[in-house]
Amino acid sequence: MPEPIPVPEMTKRCGGFQMSVLAVRGLTKRFGDVLAVDDLGFAVQPGEIFGFLGGNGAGKTTTLRMVLDIIRPTSGAIEVFGRAPDRRNTGAIGFLPEERGLYSNMSAIEVIAYFGQLKRMTAADARAHGMELLTRFDLAGRAKAKISELSKGMAQKVQLATALVNRPQLLILDEPFSGLDPVNQGLLEEEILRAARGGAAVVFSTHVMQHAERLCQRLLLLRKGRKRFEGTPDEARAQLPSTIDAMAPPAIAELDGVARATERRKLENGLSEWTLDLAPGVSAGDVLQRASARGLPLRRFEERRATLHDVFVHLVGPDALEGESRA
């Protein structure tokens, strides 16, 4: 098996601390009068899957392009492997752009090997690992087929292979699930997890909360270029109070910690179906303990936690899912 690309020195342990693969501080980008990114800061560690979330026009792609040194910031600092973005980092970075594009007259393996060589791999190493990826993606039999002869789903797998061929230590994926069928979405999720298990820092942007819910260890929510939240998915969900579906007597609405009680339907034996909105910082366990202490008969008691979609809408507004323009 070909040797992996060495991890740049600045990502190794130094004095017992793990250096960030990517660190951003005070990042700002203006296009004329448009403020696309506003004083943004975050850091991503080796082996971490970091979700970069926001609606269209939130500033996700602009930020990723600055990290890749495609465009320069108006102000602020970016460090990739402990230094400013430059071509020396090329061999350790994988990038899957939202705007997919491959050379239609080249074969699948030729395209992958070419991208590998652009990332400072030898031709032999790039070709060997390219064939490993095609085999893993069930495309070994189409390695010599031209891109123009492949189905859309097959071409998407080849595009993914171009981002993975150099075994990147920083994998950047811009709206990677856009346009993928369910099978290829599952394949991409597996590859994201595989890369993180191998020690790579994975940053992916999306406005589809389900993927972030399944994959991210930490996430950042953007609204009009400005950070609205950064933390773990659990910390994000904690931004909204829990809700309980209960079948119980009216006294449950009077318990401490219940901020609002909605009686949906009266039942027999003095019970009703309730929706209970809990006060901030109150858990379902707290309310259950208080109901038990009061001797309240409960026929159903089920917590409904907020989803990342709920949090997204709460923090950035439902209109952010639509957006006016991409940035």
- What's the pLDDT tens digit per position in 311-323? 888 887 766 554 4
pTM as predicted: 0.82
**Same domain, yes or no, for 163 and 296?**
no
**Same domain, yes or no, for 281 and 224?**
no
Q: Is-contact 211 177, C-beta < 8 A?
A: yes
pLDDT for 321: 54
Task: Give the pLDDT confidence of 294-306 residue by residue, as tens digits.
Answer: 999 999 999 988 8
Task: Give the pLDDT confidence of 55-65 residue by residue, as tens digits.
Answer: 888 999 999 99
Please tell me which residue, 18 or 293, carries the higher pLDDT value.
293
For residue 18, pLDDT beyond 80: no
Tell me the average pLDDT across 156-162: 94
Q: Which residue has the tokens 């004083």?
A: 39
**Same domain, yes or no, for 171 and 230?**
yes
Number of domains in the chain: 2
Buried b (16+ CB within 10 A) or exposed e, 242-279: bbbebbbbeebbebebbeebeeeeeeeeebbbbebebe
Residue 267 is assigned to a structural domain of this protein:
yes
Count of alpha carbons within 13 angstroms of residue 134, beta-carbon side: 23
Tell me the average pLDDT across 139-168: 94
Q: Is 180 helix (H, G, I), strand (E, B) or coil?
A: coil
pLDDT for 200: 96
pLDDT band at 207 (very low <50, low <70, confident <90, very high): confident
**Same domain, yes or no, for 233 and 257?**
no
The beta strands (E) that lie in 151-289 are given as 170-174, 201-206, 218-223, 226-231, 243-248, 258-266, 272-278
**Same domain, yes or no, for 195 and 265?**
no
**Same domain, yes or no, for 233 and 249?**
no
**Same domain, yes or no, for 200 and 253?**
no
Question: How high does pLDDT run on average in the chain?
Answer: 88
Residue 12 is assigned to a structural domain of this protein:
no
**Same domain, yes or no, for 247 and 232?**
no
**Same domain, yes or no, for 173 and 156?**
yes
Count of alpha carbons within 13 angstroms of residue 185, beta-carbon side: 14
pLDDT for 21: 95
For residue 290, pLDDT beyond 60: yes
Residue 314 is assigned to a structural domain of this protein:
no
Residue 171, phi then psi, degrees to nearest 5: -110, 115
Tell me the average pLDDT across 241-268: 92
